[in-house]
Amino acid sequence: MNMNCKLVTDIAEMYYEKTLSPEARTAIRSHLRGCRNCQAYYRQYAAVRKQHTRQESPVLPESDLTEMEKRAYLHLSEKLRRRRFWNIVGTSAAIGAGSVMLTIGLLLTHKKEN
């Protein structure tokens, strides 16, 4: 697997969390050995992640967490509903435009033959 700097920085989080395949981890490790820029980037990334995990996150009461989860769920379901709607509108528009173009093409072809 060939790794470039962009790819290494894009998947640094997965490398840090060890969620990549062994082949991908080996390829990144190989790239990091030879690329000082990526080494510096990954060291900084790892330091920030370690610092972040050391900080204690506030513990929310269960009732607040449940309310937050409900709001997040409602927000996501509304977003998905809108996305489905616009997908249907876009598909319908494309089918309609294609039908109109096909009809015009057939009419023009039919007139030329007569």
User: Which H, E and C letters describe the chain, residue by residue?
Assistant: CCCCHHHHHHCHHHHHHCCCCHHHHHHHHHHHHHCHHHHHHHHHHHHHHHHHHHCCCCCCCHHHHHHHHHHHHHHHHHHHHHHHHHHHHHHHHHHHHHHHHHHHHHHHHHHHHC
Question: Does residue 7 surpass a pLDDT of 80?
Answer: yes
pLDDT single digits (tens) 65-93: 677 777 887 888 888 889 988 989 999 99
Q: What percent of the chain has pLDDT over 90?
A: 35
Mean pLDDT of 16-44: 91
Question: Does residue 56 surpass a pLDDT of 60?
Answer: no
Q: What is the pLDDT of residue 96?
A: 94
Geometric angle at alpha carbon 20, from 46 and 47, rounded to 5°: 0
Q: What's this model's pTM, rounded to 2 decimal places?
A: 0.46
